Amino acid sequence: MTPDKSPSADPAQEKPSHSPTQAASADPSAPGPTTSRRGFLKAGGALSMSSLMGTAALMTQSDDAAAATEWAEHFQKNYRLMTDAEKAEARTRLERRYSSEYGKKVTVDTTGPQPGVLMGYALNIRKCIGCRRCVHACVEENNQSRGTRPGEKIEWIQVLRMERGEFAKDKMNQGYPEGLGIQVGGNAYTPAGQVLEGQYRYEPEAVPEKDATYMPIACMQCEKPPCVKVCPVRTTYREADGPVVIDYNWCIGCRMCMGACPYWARRINLTTPVLPKEEMNPVTHYLGNRPRMRGVVEKCHWCLQRSRQGRYPACVEVCPVGARKFGNLLDPESEVSKILERKNVFRLKAELNTFPKFFYFYD
C-alpha cells in the first residue's frame, strides 16, 4: 500500500475492488436480492451452519432473503475466527442484504492487512482552520447515523475549538486570592479546557476564526489500546496494519471500551442508524464503514475500505489546507515517516501509555 504515491480524488476510482484471494465471492452474477429463499439456501448450503440458519428462517415463516440473512448473521462466528470460506459467505450474505436494503449495488470488502504496512497519521495543528470539512466527509464516507433526535447524530471526528487569549495579559493574575490578601497557592478557580455538550459542532461563517485555534481529534489507533483490553468478547482489536477495528456483528454493546478510551473516540448506536438510501456509500469494508446495527459501538478505522486499496482516508483527501497526512510508517519514504523524522511531533495524552499512531506536529 502506498497511499502517499498514489493519492486519488478521482471519483471514477470509487469502484468496488477486491483482493485476488476474495475475488471468487465477488462475482457480480451472484444471486441478487430477488433470489428466493430456496435459491439462497442452495447457494449457501455447503456449510452445515447455513442449513441451521435455513431452519431458523423457515421458523420465522418468512420468504424474505433478508430475513434469512439476518438469522445467519445472528449465529456467525467472530470475524477473526472465521475461515476464508466463512468470510466469503458472510460477505456475500451482507452484500445481498445491503443491496436489497439500500437499492443499489453494495460491495463489502474483506481485504486483510497487507504485509509490510503499518498505517500512521499525522496532523499539522498549525494549519487546521476549523472548517470541519473532515467531519462531514467522514460522516458521508463512513455511513454514520445522521438523524435529528439526540443520540442519532454520530460524528467520529471532533474539531475542538480553543479560545485564543486564554493566556492574555489581563488573565495573568488569575489564581491570586481576592479578599484574603495572603497567598496560599493553588487557588486557580477556572477549570481548564472545558466545553458544554456539542459545543464542537459549530458552523462559523468564515474560517479560520480570528480568536480561535483548533485541535482535531478522532481515534488515535493506539498501539496499546485500552479499549481492546477491556472488551469482554474480543470484538474490538488491532489489525496487523495498525487500525483498531470492531466486528459489529459480535459487539454486545456493553460500552466498556467507551469508558476506557481516553480520547472519547467511540460512539454507541443508541438506535438503528438513520442512513438515507440515497446518501449511503456503497463501497464498504466488513470492519469499516458497512452499515451498523442498533446497540453496537463504532469508531474511526482510517477508512479501511479506502486505505487498504491504496487510497487516502476521506478526511485526508478532503482537508483543504493539507493539515492531515497519512501513510505507511514502515516505509521510510512515506510522508508520515518523513514528518516523524523532521518535524516537532507529539502524541496526545502520552502519559497514559497508549502509544497512539496518530501524531500531532507543527513546523
Partner 1 sequence: MQQLISFATDYSRYVLKGGTKFYTWMGSLGVLMLGMLYVFYLQNTEGLIVTGMTSQIHDGLYFANLVFLVGVAAGAVTIVFPAYAYHHEGMHKVAVLGEMLAITAVIMVMMFVFAHMGRPDRLWHMIPPWGIYSFSSMLGWDVMVLNGYLILNFVCGFYYLWCKYTGNPINNKWFLPLVYVAIVWALSIHTVTAFLISTMPSRPMWFHSMMPIRFITTAFAAGPALIILIFLIIRKNTKFWVDDSAIKLLTTIVTWCLGIAIFLTLSEVVVELYARTEHANGLYYLMFGLHGLTRLVPWFWSAVALMVGAFILFLMPSFRNDFKKLVIPCVMAFTGIWIEKGMGLIVPGFIPSPIGEVTEYYPSFVEVLLSLGIWAFGFFILTILLKGAIGILLGEIKYGGQAAAAK
Which residue ranges make up the site for partner 1 (CB under 8 A)?
Answer: 74, 78, 81, 149-152, 154, 158, 160, 186, 188, 191-197, 199-200, 217, 226, 229-235, 250-256, 258-264, 266-272, 294-297, 352
CB of 161 to partner 1, least distance (A): 12
If the CB atoms of residues 16 and 262 are measured against partner 1, the closer one turns out to be 262
Nearer to partner 1, 139 or 296 (CB): 296
Q: Is the dihedral of CA 92, 97, 103, 107 positive or negative?
A: negative
Rounded to the nearest 10 degrees, the angle between the axes of helix 65-74 and helix 84-102 is 140
Instruction: For residue 235, give the 3-state DSSP assignment.
Output: coil
Give whichever of 26 and 154 is closer to partner 1, judged by the CB atom: 154
Q: Cis ω on the peptide bond leading into residue 204 (within 30° of 0)?
A: no
**Contact (CB, 8 A) for 239 and 288:** no
Residue number, 103 or 165, with CB nearest to partner 1: 165
Query: Which of 157, 283 has the CB closer to partner 1?
Result: 157
**CA end-to-end span of the chain:** 27
Q: Which long-range contacts (CB under 8 A, 24 or more apart) does 345-353 make?
A: 345/122, 347/220, 348/217, 348/220, 348/263, 349/262, 349/263, 352/226, 352/262, 353/224
Question: In whole angstroms, how close is the CB of 135 to partner 1 at the nearest point?
Answer: 14
Instruction: Provide the pairing of β-strand 297-299 with 266-268.
Output: antiparallel
Nearer to partner 1, 200 or 214 (CB): 200
Least gap, CB of 61 to partner 1 (angstroms): 19
**Least Å distance between CB 1 and partner 1?**
29
Q: Burial letters for 244-278: b for 16+ Cβ neighbours within 10 Å, e otherwise?
A: bbbbbbbbeeeebbbebbebebbbbbbeebebeee
Q: How far is the CB of 229 from partner 1 (least distance, A)?
A: 5
Closest approach, Cβ 253 to partner 1, in A, equals: 2
